[in-house]
Amino acid sequence: MSYGQGGPPSQWDPWKPQSQQPWSSGGGSDSGQAPDWAALAEASETRHKRRRLLFIGGGAIATAAIGTAVAVAVVSANGSNQASDPSSQLPATAGLPSPTGTVPSFAPTSAPPPLDPKDFVSSAQKDRAPLGPDVLFPGTQLTMGDTVYKKGPTADTRNCASAAKATLPKVLTDNGCGRLLRVTYTKDDVAVTVGVAVFDTEAQAAKAKQQADAKSIIKSLAGGGVKEFCDGAVCRSTTNSYGRYAYFTLSGFTAAKNVTEKDKAVFSTGNDLAEFTFRQILRRGEAQASAAAEE
């Protein structure tokens, strides 16, 4: 068998650049052989498949390399091969503010108890304010609600028994009354005399109030345009005390007639003057307590 010029044909390898594809005989013609297009297409397809495999494999290797690089970067940033922990980024204990170290402390304080006004009218030692009929009963008239009472004569005696009647002189003397202040108020034909007995202590005044009975009355005080009243006629009387003061009222008609339970004007007049006397003694204590608190 003759292979023609150049010796036997070389084996064709599509992956070797120098290899040549064999030419098929085309009916024994010497003018040249046509390429095998089917074989070329198959070889090209094979090359494309190998390239895709190479790309896929290379991508996986690259991804793994990137992941490793990230892991190494994280480890390097945290140091000591420790995983990232948010608590490890907090400052040390010494750098944190102490919950109690900077809290200001205050010494306990308490306001002084308020002064009791009654204390200043319960003993002669504390009750040092000026005292007299015109101090307790100032002005020329007194208004209680809608009623206006006209102020009449006043009196101030150191002999308490001389300004009292019936059983009251003994009560005042036995308990050490040192002064008796009196004032009279009028409204129409009704008159009332208020008597304030002054003692050294609250206990003396309270005892005088306790010992007084229905016959313990003060003398009515007339004059200065006020007619005599409650001199032989039945009148209404009251007795009370506050602090070192015992106070009494005697109410009746200036026409020298007896007072009955139906005479509401007499009762209301006596009640108004007794209430006003209590308020004046209380105000006396409040004024002295306020002055002492400002010292």
Question: What is the per-residue pLDDT across 213-238, written as a single tens digit (0 to 9) for each?
Answer: 999 999 999 998 999 999 999 999 99
pTM, 2 dp: 0.63
Question: What CA–CA distance (Å, rounded) separates 251 from 193?
Answer: 7
Can you name the residues that pair with 274 across neighbouring β-strands?
none
Q: What is the pLDDT of residue 182?
A: 98
Contact 121, 244 (CB under 8 A): yes
**What is the spatial distance between Cα 88 and Cα 267, in angstroms, rounded to a whole number?**
91
Q: Per-residue pLDDT for 268 more than 90?
A: yes
User: What value does the mean pLDDT of the chain take?
Assistant: 79
Q: For position 276, what pLDDT does the model report?
A: 97
Calculate mean pLDDT across residues 269-278. 97
pLDDT of 99 reads 54
pLDDT tier for residue 103 given thresholds of 50, 70 and 90? low
User: For residue 135, is pLDDT > 80?
Assistant: yes
For residue 40, pLDDT over 80 is answered with no
User: Do 254 and 266 touch, CB atoms closer than 8 A?
Assistant: no
**Euclidean distance between CA atoms 245 and 286, whole angstroms:** 15
Provide mean pLDDT across the span 129-157: 96
Q: Which of 183, 267, 255 is nearest to 219 (CA)?
A: 183
pLDDT for res 240: 98
Does the pLDDT value for residue 203 go beyond 90? yes
**Most confident of the ranges 18-22, 40-44, 177-181:** 177-181
* pLDDT given at position 7: 46
